[in-house]
Amino acid sequence: MNDWWKKAVIYQIYPRSYFDTSGNGIGDLKGVIQKIDYISGLGVDAIWLSPFFTSPMKDMGYDVSHYTSVDPLFGRMEDFEELVSLAHKNNIKIIIDQVLSHSSDQHEAFLESRSDKKSDKSDWYVWADAKADGSPPNNWLSVFGGSAWEWEPLRGQYYFHNFLASQPDFNFHNTEVQDFLLGEVRFWLEKGVDGFRLDTVNYYFHDTKLRDNPKSPKDFKRPPINPYYLQNQLYAINQTENLNFLTRFRELLDSYPNKTSIGEIGDSHRAIEIMQEYTRDSKLHMAYSFELLGKEFSASFIQSTLEKFFEDNKDSWPCWSFSNHDVERHVSRWDPKESKEFAKLTSALLLSLKGTPCLYQGEELGQTETKLEFKELTDPPGIRYWPENKGRDGCRTPMTWNRNSLNAGFSTFKPWLPVKEKQKLNSVNIQEEDDKSILNFYKEFLDLRRKRNELLEGEMEFLPSKEDVLMFTRETKASKLLCIFNLNTDKHLFEEFKDHQIEVVISSNTDFSDNKIEINGYGFMIFSVN
């Protein structure tokens, strides 16, 4: 069995913000092709491409209207085929997004389903009658705000949508729907993709009795910005039938050699438990949740999150990330000063954890969250909940390739989101010339990770933490690494290693003499211990 995905580092590319070759202000597949040398030079093993399929772009491609075609914004199918071929020549795997829980309301199946209760696709989506007073069938809410039910006058019924009203949920209880979606997955397998990132993988099935969700067991000191989180999504998502479908999905993947899958777990109550459940017994290969993508950054939280996942759980596998296209960039989220030291610390930490790390484009530059004005927004949640929730546009602004070029080298046309001066300061061309830059540090650590088997497959054991210093070992039968990460700005002195033979493997912002280790604020040290 080839478990390449366990040792891989995945690099997420948001195509519309990577590099524009067509001159329309939107990145495209040819842009990824043109930057393949840069990607290869980073030292990553796989690319995860966010959606590039045909879509009305109400949710920037996560509303798919045709699953087996490339949206003209991003190019042609020939471009995708060329990208797969070129990536493979550079020993890079291609993982693509699959948004199976819902489609666009412009998908031909929904257009047919909404038109007539007697149509062939009538039961392909989730339909329900209104209550006697005309209100929705139950209390389910949308992640993007408001009721999760939208009235359709053509049918005289409500349809269910976990996200935008223009993103109706498929009815996975209908096996025809499952067969159709698995057929769309097979299409991309035949195109040579190496795996799939499954969007909202725990949202596929709903409770057929349409029971009301209970209130959340969490004690909120003040109401959340979005009332969705006041509910425990007991019946709208996370149904046991999901597991049977994932078994079918895995059987399809296993019929092709060396494929992988990553599931996105969106749940605010039992995410780690679902990650475990979904990645054992031949279902998903790995899964990630938003546990390490949130606001909390502390030694105790990181330790408890990983220990909880791996506790009596050797068959499941996680994918960890600190940033992605849905959350504020972690350098801004966790460090008020957005320092280079912090960017280096977090890169080393993520790449040292047991599990598969996923980097988000621009993370290797220490890129910060872009501050946007309301008039510059495109993201529906940001527009709806501004200014308390500014949405996801701030982490989706274009890559900055050259500070001195128009739009930082991203496009010759006005970009779909603005490129600000602050982000230009982190441009690739500046960092490539600086030996001590964040970009070159990422390259150095990625190279180190490939060479150190302890970081690839070593067992992980946490040591007692103190004052927000995270300590753990990565150990194989042949060797052992001790990793110390100072997650705060205070200096810490470690004298307990005086009697050990120490070989420093890599460090940042530290002093080491006479086997005394002094780690400054946001510093770290990894060393072998005999």
List beta partners, residue 93.
46
The Cα 483–Cα 494 span in angstroms is: 13
Chain-centroid distance of CA 7 in Å reads 17
Query: What distance, in Å, lies between the first and last C-alpha atoms of the chain?
Result: 32
The Cα 139–Cα 455 span in angstroms is: 46
Q: Is 375 helix (H, G, I), strand (E, B) or coil?
A: helix
The Cα 442–Cα 212 span in angstroms is: 47
Q: Which amino acid is at 135?
A: S
Q: Is 417 helix (H, G, I), strand (E, B) or coil?
A: coil
Q: How many helices (H) and strands (E) does the chain have?
A: 16, 19
Residues 6+ apart with CB under 8 A from 400: 362, 365, 367, 408, 409, 410, 419, 423, 424, 426, 427, 428
For tokens 């969490």, the residue is 218
The Cα 399–Cα 407 span in angstroms is: 9
The size of the chain, in residues, is: 530
Report cis status (omega within 30 of 0) of the bond before 72: no
384: left (phi over 0), alpha (psi -120 to 50) or beta: alpha
Catalytic residue among 20, 71, 79, 199: 199
The Cα 125–Cα 161 span in angstroms is: 9
State the DSSP string of 294-340.
Answer: SS---HHHHHHHHHHHHTT--S--BEE-S--TTS--HHHHH-TT--H
Nearest residue to 14 via CA among 96, 103, 81, 113: 96
Catalytic residue among 71, 264, 267, 291: 264
**Contact of 65 with 103, CB cutoff 8 Å:** yes
- Active-site residue flag, 264: yes
Characterize the bridge pairing of strands 53-54 and 66-70: antiparallel
Of the CA atoms within 13 Å of residue 122, those in its CB half-sphere come to 10
The DSSP H or E segment spanning 356 is strand 356-360
The Cα 49–Cα 36 span in angstroms is: 13
The Cα 36–Cα 31 span in angstroms is: 9
Backbone CA torsion sign across 158, 161, 164, 167: negative
Structure tokens given for 530: 């005999």
Structure tokens given for 367: 């890129």
Q: Which residues are catalytic?
A: 199, 264
